[in-house]
Amino acid sequence: MELSTQTIKQRFGIIGNDHLLNRAIEKAVRVSPTDISVLVTGESGVGKESFPKIIHQLSHRKHNKYIAVNCGAIPEGTIDSELFGHEKGAFTGATSSRKGYFEVADGGTIFLDEVGELPLTTQVRLLRVLENGEFIKVGSSEVHKTNVRIVAATNLNMEIAIQKGKFREDLFYRLSTVEIKVPALRKRKEDIHLLFRKFASDFAKKYNMPTVRLDDNAQKLLTIYNWNGNVRQLRNVAEQLSVLEEKRNISVSLLQTYLPNFNSNLPAVVNKQQESSDFSNEREILYKILFDMKKDLNDLKQLTKHLNSGERNTKYKKDEKSNLEKLYESKSDSSDLIEIANKKLDYEKPNQTEDKYHFAEEISEEETLSIHDNELELIIKALERNNGKRKAAARELGISERTLYRKIKQHDIEL
């Protein structure tokens, strides 16, 4: 008889009603009667270790051994010996033969936690076990057989690990015949306070003291916090509050002190009046920025008119042009406007008369229609006068050589 999701939760101590969590439990129940390899994925601290237990206890292997192995906690030099065993004298310190986990758990289930941390050489050995149930002890040439079901778990992005060559693609597909994804705590917002209450109740019984409770604002903060450490982090916070705080009613300000990186991980808990005030302040700032931009544009227009108003020597014009460039450069998207201003003056020879300078009356919408043609003509003339030398032409135009090169490509000018 198939057990209900609620029964499974009660049996294995799983708290929560989130649909993603329920879906993961349902998949574990469905796959448990088979011998299919399962890969449990999810962030660190989400409770992945519960799912191999569900799979084992609901399978026909439940009366045989269940062994959990943390692959990331075993040194690389001894991992093969731990998993597959070794013969006497296989390495320094091997004073006797030893059975590995795959031999001990024959007929049962092995849970390989943090399987993504396995060395590549061990991954090859594990692949052979998955394919035909065979393994060789360290220091031996004899092939042994085992009938073990493998359930693995990892918090790594396996696709990235495969791309970087840290995990074998063929092993990944053998392990993940069925993949069970355990959701992060921040995606189970309705379960967060439920979990906290359960942890607080458990610790109150453990330490023989009243249960801590959160006020309304503290509950809201609990819900919007990121919980990078997931359920494990929430449990630790509940335990710290239970042990360290004399007051049993926890306020939002007190809860904040137990949440690391509080300000950078979540929006502030504010009431509607505060939200309205903050929005008003932001609107005033935006208005001020817009008015400042309008004033700067008017100043630019007046400066352009001033540059075009009468006769002046070349040095003075260059100083005015430099001021114009500095003002335009203070705007994030104004680099092309600087080049337009450059085109208003022709610095070919200082002793030429005023009628040889080309000025524009005003930067207006009508004028911008001919900017493309004027720009193209100026660039071609500058290149012709300098025999196609970009550096000299750029200096004459008052722009950088890099900008000139970009313009040449843009206008498709043949040199």
**385-389, long-range: CB within 8 Å, 24+ apart, which pairs?**
385/348, 388/415
pLDDT (tens place) for every residue of the chain, 415 residues total:
457 899 999 999 999 999 999 999 999 999 999 999 999 999 999 999 999 999 999 999 999 999 999 999 999 889 999 999 999 888 888 889 999 999 999 999 999 999 999 999 999 999 999 999 999 999 998 999 999 999 999 999 999 999 999 999 999 999 999 999 999 999 999 999 999 999 999 999 999 999 999 999 999 999 999 999 999 999 999 999 999 998 899 999 999 999 987 655 544 444 555 445 555 566 666 666 776 777 777 777 776 766 666 544 454 455 555 555 555 554 444 444 444 444 444 444 444 444 444 444 444 444 444 566 677 778 888 888 888 888 888 888 788 887 887 878 777 777 6
Which of 183, 206, 241 is a domain's end point?
183
* Phi, psi for residue 92 in degrees, rounded to 5: -60, 125
Claim to verify: residue 177 and residue 280 sit in the same structural domain? no
Type of residue found at 272: K
Q: How many Cα neighbours within 13 Å face the side chain of 207?
A: 18
Claim to verify: residue 23 and residue 151 sit in the same structural domain? yes
pLDDT at 321: 53
Claim to verify: residue 130 and residue 81 sit in the same structural domain? yes
Residues 175 and 113: their CA atoms lie apart, in Å, by: 12
Claim to verify: residue 66 and residue 40 sit in the same structural domain? yes
pLDDT at 95: 85
Residues 222 and 196: their CA atoms lie apart, in Å, by: 9
Which of 183, 218, 252 is a domain's end point?
183
Claim to verify: residue 60 and residue 121 sit in the same structural domain? yes
Claim to verify: residue 27 and residue 173 sit in the same structural domain? yes
pLDDT at 376: 77
pTM: 0.62
Claim to verify: residue 176 and residue 230 sit in the same structural domain? no
Claim to verify: residue 300 and residue 201 sit in the same structural domain? no
Residues 89 and 93: their CA atoms lie apart, in Å, by: 7
Question: What CATH number has the domain bearing residue 53?
Answer: 3.40.50.300
Which of 183, 200, 222 is a domain's end point?
183
For residue 293, the enclosing domain spans: 274-411
Domain count of the chain?
Answer: 3
Taking alpha carbons only, the member of 235, 255, 250, 249 closest to residue 195 is 235
pLDDT at 384: 82
Residues 10 and 20: their CA atoms lie apart, in Å, by: 17
pLDDT at 366: 44
> Are residues 70 and 52 in contact, defined by beta-carbon separation less than 8 angstroms?
no
Q: Based on the number of CB atoms within 10 Å of its own CB, is 291 exposed (0-12), middle (13-18) or buried (19 or more)? A: exposed
Claim to verify: residue 131 and residue 207 sit in the same structural domain? no
* Phi, psi for residue 113 in degrees, rounded to 5: -80, 145
Claim to verify: residue 32 and residue 127 sit in the same structural domain? yes
Claim to verify: residue 206 and residue 317 sit in the same structural domain? no
Claim to verify: residue 112 and residue 213 sit in the same structural domain? no
Question: What CATH number has the domain bearing residue 240?
Answer: 1.10.8.60
